Structure 1
Amino acid sequence: MDASPKTTVAAVNGQALGGGAEVSLGCHYRVASAKAAFAFPEVSLGLLPGGQGTQRLPRVAPLMTAVQMILQGKVLPAAAAMKNGIIDAIAKGDVVDEAAAFALSKPPNPISKRPVAHANRFYAASGALDQALLMAHNQAPTMVAPASIIACLKAACSTMSFEEGLKVEASEFTKLVFSIQSAAMRHLFFAERAAQKVPGVNAKPMPIKKIGILGAGLMGGGIAMCFAQKGVPVILKDAKQEWLDAGMKKITGLWASKAKKGKMTEDKYKQLMALVTPTLNYEDFKDVDMVIEAVPEIMDLKKQVFLDMEKHMRPDAMICTNTSGLDINEIAAVLKDPSRVMGCHFFSPANVMQLLENIQTKHSSELTLSTGMAMGKLISKKTVMVGNCDGFVGNRMLAPYAGEAKMLWEEGATIEQIDAAAQKFGSA
C-alpha cells in the first residue's frame, strides 16, 4: 500500500486498534467516520506496535500524542485524530464513497517518505522521551515494554532512515514477544475473555433497566455507584435513616470530589445523583429487575431480608447476594422460587475493584446465570462464574497465601522479606 504508484486511502468506519491503526497508516491518506477511533493497545499485552506503527505515527502526529497512544494505549476519537494529523478527513456521508473520491483528488503521499517534524525531533533530543519513560517506570516499575517503545520512538526521531527505524522496531518487538512478561499478559488477556463464556449457559439475558441495592454501607454504596455510572437507575435501601444518610453522604462525597477536581462536569455529577434514590421501604423494589443484597454476613439476617424482598418484588426479578462466604443454597432455600437467586461477590471498594465473582447455586436457572454475567459486563467488571463453595475463588486462594505469610513471619522472616518474595513470584 505504501509503495503503490496509485493513491491509497484507508476508509475507517469503526475502531482501528493496533494492527488496524497500522494498516491505516500504511495507506497514503485516511478518511474516517465520525464514530471511528484509533489506538495502539499493545502495551497492555507487554508488546509494542510491530507493524511499523512506531515509525509511522511520529511522522504524522505530534510526538507527545504518539507517546500517549503507544506508551499509554490512549484512544483517540476521530475528531482528536483529525486534530493531531492522524487522519485527513472525517466523512459526512458514506465513508467508502468519500474515501474513493479523496483518492481520486490526491497524489500518492507515502508516510515512509515523509520526514519527522522538526518539533518532534527537537522534543526527542531535549529529553521528552526519557521523561516519558521515567513516568511510565514510576507508574509500573516492572513493565519491560515501555523501554522498548521509547527506543523505537527515539529511532524514529533520530537521523536514522525509515528502513533503519523499522529494524529497531523489529528487534525490540521480537525481544518483547518472546518475553515471559508478555506471554503472561497475553495469557491473562485471553483468560479474562474465556471467563466470560460459561459452558451450558446460552439463554438470552434479561435486560437490566433498574436495579435495587439492599444495604447502603461500604459495599452497597459502591455497588450502587457502579450501576449509576452506567446510566442505570438505582433504588438504594437500608433499615435505618441514619445508615441510609451515611451511605448517600459517602456516594455524594466521592462524586463531588471528582467534580471538584475537574474529573467530572457539574452536569454529570447532578445526573449521577439523580439516578440514586434512597429509601427505607421494600415497596420501592416493586419494579426493579434485580436486587443485590449487601447486608452484614449473618445467615439469619440474609434469610429474613430475602423473605422481605420476595413479598414486594416481581416474581421474575432476580435476587442476588453479595456474600463473601455464606452458603447461598441455604439462603435461597427460603424463597418460593430459588432459581432466581445467584451470588454476586463484589470486592471492596466495589466501585473501584474490577473482579466480580458470580456464584451459581444448585437451583440457579440458565436465565439467572446469563443475566448475572451480562450484568457484570454492563458495569465493566471482569466477571467469573464460580461454584458455591467455601470462599468461592478469590478468598479461597487468598486464605492459604495469607496463612503461609503469617507462618513465615512467625518463623523469623521480616515483613519486607515476605513482600519481596511475593513480588518476585509475581503476586504483587
Structure 2
Amino acid sequence: MGLVNFVISTVGKCLDVAALLLDLNFLIVHTVVRTLLTIIAFITNLPTLILNLLLHVGDLTLFSAMYMAETTSNLAHWTLSMLGSLALALEGLLESLKMVGYLSMHVLLRGKDHLCRGLVSVLEGCGIAVSLVVYFTNTVVNFALIATQNVYLAAVGVWQTVSSPLQKVLEFALTFFTFLYSSLVGTSAFLWSPCKLLLDFIASLVQMFISIFILNIYGLLLTVTIALLTTAYLNPRLSRQAAVHILVYVNSFPALRRLYRRLQQLYLLERRFWLQLSHHRSLLGLVLRTALQRDNANRVRGDGDTGEERRDPPDGRDRLQQEPGDLPSCSADRPLKMSPSLGKDGKPLPAESLLTLLKEQEERKKCVICQDCIKTVVLLPCRHLCLCRDCTNILLRQPIYQQNCPLCRHMILNTMDVYL
C-alpha cells in the first residue's frame, strides 16, 4: 500500500513538474511571441510614426514661421510708422531752419553790402597811401643799390688790376703741378701694370703648378716621372747604372730569372709561328695564282671566250687593289680579258647593262660592315681591303680578342690607309 502511495505521489510530482515545465514553456513562448509581435508591430508602424512625427514637426515649423513672419511684419509696420512720424518732424524742423536761414542770409547780405562798401573805400585810401610810400622807398633803395654797385665795380676793377699778374702766376703754377702729378701717376700706372700682370701671372702659374703637380696625386706622380726622365736623359751613366743595379737585383731572384727566360722563349716561339704562317700563306697564294692563270689560259686557247666575268678575290679587295705579288710581271703572261663594255660576241652592251656593271663595281668598293662608305683601309698581316676608316676605328676599340678581320677572322696587328 505504501509502495502504491509512493508511486502515485511520485507520478503526481512528476506530473506537477511536467505541468510546471509546460507552464514555463508556455510563458516563455508566449513572451517571445508577444515580443516578436511587438517588434513586428513597431517595425510595421515605424513609417507611420516617423510620418506623423515629421508632420507634427512640419506643423510646428510652419506655425513658428508664420508667427515670426507676423511678428516681423508688425515690427516693420511699427518701425515704418515711427520712421514716418520722425520724417515728418524732421521735415517741419528743416522747414523752420530753412526759413531762419533765409532770413539770416538776407540780413547778412544787406549788412555785407554796406560793410563792403565802407571797407572798400577805406582800403582804397590805404592802398593809395601805401603805394606812395612804396614808390618813395623803392626810389631811395634803387639809388643806394646803384651807388653800391658802382663802388663794388670800381673796387673789383682795382683788385683785378693789382692781382691779375699774381693770379696768372698762381694758375700757371697750379696747372704745372697738376700736369706733373698726372704725369707721375700715369707713369707709375704704366710701369706698375706690366709688373702687376707679370706677378699675377707668376702667382697663377705657381698656384696651378701646386694644385696640379703637388696637391694632386696624379700630378705628383707625373712630376716625379718627369724629374726621373729628365735626370735619366741628362745623366746617361746614372740611368745605365740604375738599370744595371735593377737587372742585378732582378737576377738575384731565381723565379724572376726563370720567368724572364720563359717570356723570351714564348716571344721566339710566337715569332717563329708567324714566320711559318706567312711562309705557308705565300706558298698557298702562289699555288692558287698558278692554277688560276693556267685555267684562264686553257679557256682562252680553247674557244677564244673568257667565259663569265672575272670575280673579285674572296678577300674583299677590288681587282685593282691586289698586292703587287699577285699581278703578273709581264703583259705576255697576263690572261686576256674582255672589255667590260663589250659582250660575249664583241658587241657593245646596252646602257642598262653598263649601268648595272657600274653599280656592281660601286657596290664592290663599299665597306663590308656599314655598306655605305668606300673601303680605304688595308688590314695587316692578312692584307684585306674591306673596311672604311670609321668601321676600322670602331673595330680597333673592341677587346684584343675581337680585333679580327671580318673576312678571314685573322688577328689585326696593324692597318694601312690606301687612296683609290
More helix by share: 2
What is the TM-score of this pair, normalised by structure 2?
Answer: 0.17
Q: Which is strand-richer, 1 or 2?
A: 1
Point out which structure has higher relative CO (alpha carbons under 8 A, 6+ apart).
1
